[in-house]
Structure 1
Amino acid sequence: MEFYAGLDVSLEATSVCVVNGEGTVLREAKLPSDSDAIELFLSEWGVRLKRVGLESFSFSAWLFAALDEKGLPVVCVETRHAKAAMSAMLNKTDRNDARGLAQLMRTGWFRAVHVKSREAQALRMLLAGRKAMLGQAIDLENMIRGLLRPFGLKVGQVSVGKFEARVRELVADAPALEAIIAPLLDARAAMRLQFAKLHRLALAAAQRDDAVRRMMTTPGVGAIVALTFRVTVDDPARFRKSATVGAHFGLTPRRYQSGETDRSGRISKCGDELTRAMLYEAAIAILTRIRRAFKLRLWGLRLMKKKGLKRAATAVARALAVLLHKIWVDGATFRYAAGMKRGRGRRIAQCA
């Protein structure tokens, strides 16, 4: 007889359910979200589990690694599949969620999620912190602009380095405004300083990674774009074909087919949002800022004339994801003189 377990994990407590091959619930418990407590509960019964499933979320990466080190056959389930299993329950409770995950493990109707390495998770934290710090600094700058506008003071278009001097110049003749703006400018300066530190750490990490340096030979792909792509994919062997990488990042159209109805919609936007945004920004740079001609850019410009900038940039971003994966797998660098090849209705630039 085969046995399966489902774990509904939260920060403080974890509901555990064990079922047999026929789907009968054998054991249930609510335990602390601690790998030792969960491992003890699952092993003290003396049966060999075939699969132990938990839903993918921020805390699951740590628990997955801890249970895997203890020799448990743990599987991290894609969130949409887990939600489909849990929706079959009449009432949503932690206990029922654990039961749904256990049944999902028994039936095998799920897709396992790749759990990133500790190194990739640390780099991901660096990139997320860098983005958050930059966003906060920009929000504060926009707030300062908005506060000055009712007094007829316009900051205008200035560089990041000259922003503070411009604002201080505007409020120099208004002591009351200067007293208010000064602390805000000090806070902005501190944010910009900490952002610069995080940015330097990201650049250093990109410089140390051979795959990232090779990806950066692609026009429009800088250190942050390449590092984000590398950290999100983590293991290039996850994809048997490079052509599937674009779909993984939600850059392919949704399709709905039922009876006589068959239509394609907007891109799915599944997968990692940060990586998708980085690829899109790189595609915009290829289409609007890079002047040197190469096959991917020329293809994108032709598409832009027919479909517009946004659709063309999305298509180039999808092709760029495929290209970066090929560069990573093949140990290659980008070649401007590379040809084009057809594949599944689209053309992508080859790499050396």
Structure 2
Amino acid sequence: MTLFVGLDVSVRETAVCVVDAVGQVVVEKKVATEPEDLIALLRQVGGDYGRIGLEAGPLSQWLVSGLAEAELPVVCVETRHMKALLKAQQVNKSDRNDARGIAQMMRVGLFKPVHVKTLASQERRMLLTSRKLLQKKLLDVEADLRGTLRNFGLKVGVIRTSGFEGRVRELVEDYPRLAAIVGPMLTVRRVLHEQFTVLHKMLLGLVRQDPVCRRLMTAPGVGPVVALTYRAAIDQPQRFAHSRAVGAQAGLTPKRVQSGETDYDVGISKTGDAMLRSTLYEAAQSLLTHGGAKWSWLRAWGMRVAQRRGMRRAIIAVARRLAVILHRMWVDQTDFRWTKAPAAMAT
């Protein structure tokens, strides 16, 4: 008998619902959110499992890996799609009802699977997010110091990062009470800067040793941060049948509204990987607006788009095209072609 399983995962416990081929509930139970406990329950129930589904979330990569190692047919389902289908059940929201709904989705095949990233990709992503968090907090501390000191007529002005602390101490030198308040803030800023530097050097070392990142960096506008972000987001390039699908993955494709006689675009979708989208946008912006950037066919194409549609739309268009180009470079194992002449000669 073929069985289908729905897992509603929380931090401590997971609601498990097992249904048969006609939708009848076989087992409903809560177990600890541990791969071993889930596997033990499923082994105890027995039977031939068709699909085991759970929602994408912070614990999904860990649980999917554990269940997959036990040779169980586990599927990770896209969050928005699952939420819409569970809402259509018109029942009170509970862990039990959610697990039932997921089990029925697995039974009828009404789900949208998502790619579960590898452990190496998760580690790269954690490095990127940790580095960005420290960078944001560092800038927040500096901005707060600048703003509060300005209330007393003390202006930090334009200063290099290395000279910021000295400049602030110089300004509050004649204000003992301000100096006492500013001191701890500067200490926190110094620690944040030191640890940010540690993570940034770690990022540079990782990129230096990765042949894929080095190849991606041959493209204009792509530096170490963009390359590693792209590497972590795509993870396995073969999961995209066509390179043009990467633009949609980053939320850089137009969102279309169509109903009856109505049919128009409302800008980009902004769905998918937000970090990938923002870094590609920054790379495209640097490519088009940086005066010292090396000329390439991609920049020339972006400038033509800017003349027709404006710079903002041109940056989005270049970011989308850059996502496609980087994927093709990765798959073909080729560096960026600065002119189109080699491609034209090959055809």
Fold match by TM threshold 0.5: yes
Cα deviations by residue, 1:221-246 (Å, 9 ceiling, x for unpaired): 00110001001111000101101100
Partner of 1:326: 328
Aligned runs of 1:38-187 on 2, under 5 Å?
A: 38-89=38-89, 90-187=91-188
- 3-state SS of paired residue (1:250): coil
Cα contact 2:220–2:294 (8 A) shared by 1: no
Greater mean alpha carbon deviation, residues 306-315 or residues 206-215: 306-315
Q: Matches of residues 269-348 of structure 1 in structure 2 within 5 Å? A: 269-289=270-290, 290-338=292-340
Question: How far, CA to CA, are the matches of 1:10 and 1:70 in structure 2?
Answer: 21
Task: Decide whether the 8 Å contact of 1:295 with 1:339 is kept in 2.
Answer: no
Letter in 2 for 1:101: I
| Structure 2 counterpart of 1:308, one-letter code | G
Cα distance per residue 1:174-221 (max 9 Å; x no partner): 222112112111110110000000001111111111010000011110
With structure 1 as the length reference, what TM-score do the two structures score? 0.94
How far apart are the structure 1 equivalents of 2:304 and 2:273?
A: 28
**Residues 168-247 of structure 1: pairs in structure 2 closer than 5 A:** 168-247=169-248
Name the counterpart of 1:251: 252
Aligned residue for 1:112, secondary structure, equals coil
Local SS of the residue matching 1:91: coil
Please report how far the alpha carbon of residue 34 of structure 1 lies from its aligned counterpart in structure 2 after TM superposition. 1.2
Structure 1 residues 90-131: Cα deviation after superposition (integer angstroms, max 9, x where no partner): 211111111111111111122211111111111111111000
Q: CA deviation at 1:54?
A: 0.3
Counterpart secondary structure, 2:169: helix
After TM superposition, the structure 1 stretch with the greater mean CA deviation from structure 2, 201-210 or 153-162, is 153-162
- Give, as a single letter, the amino acid of the residue that structure 2 aligns with 1:163: F
Q: Which amino acid aligns with 2:12?
A: E
- Within 2, Cα distance between the matches of 1:186 and 1:155? 17
Deviates more, 1:88-97 or 1:279-288: 88-97
Instruction: State the TM-score, normalized to the length of structure 2.
Output: 0.96
> Contact conserved, 1:295 with 1:340, CA < 8 A, in 2?
no
Residue 308 of structure 1 deviates from its aligned partner by 2.3
Report the counterpart of residue 268 of structure 2 in structure 1: 267
The CA distance in 2 between the partners of 1:340 and 1:183, in whole Å, is 59
- 2:118 and 2:235 in contact (8 A); partners too: yes
The AA in structure 2 aligned to 1:295 is W
Helix, strand or coil at the partner of 2:18: strand
Distance in 2, Cα, partners of 1:52 & 1:116: 18
SS in 1 for 2:71: coil
Question: Which amino acid is 2:191 matched to?
Answer: A
Equivalent residue letter for 1:124: R
SS at structure 1 position matched to 2:151: helix
Q: Structure 1: which 4+ aligned runs deviate by more than 6 Å? A: none
Aligned residues: 344
Give the distance between the partners of 2:100 and 2:245, measured in 1 at CA: 33
Distance in 1, Cα, partners of 2:85 & 2:107: 12
Distance 1:11-1:340 versus aligned 2 partners, 3 A rule? farther
Once the two structures are TM-superposed, the CA of residue 73 in structure 1 deviates from its matched residue by 0.6
Q: Which runs of 5+ in 2 are unaligned?
A: none
Shift of 1:26: 1.7
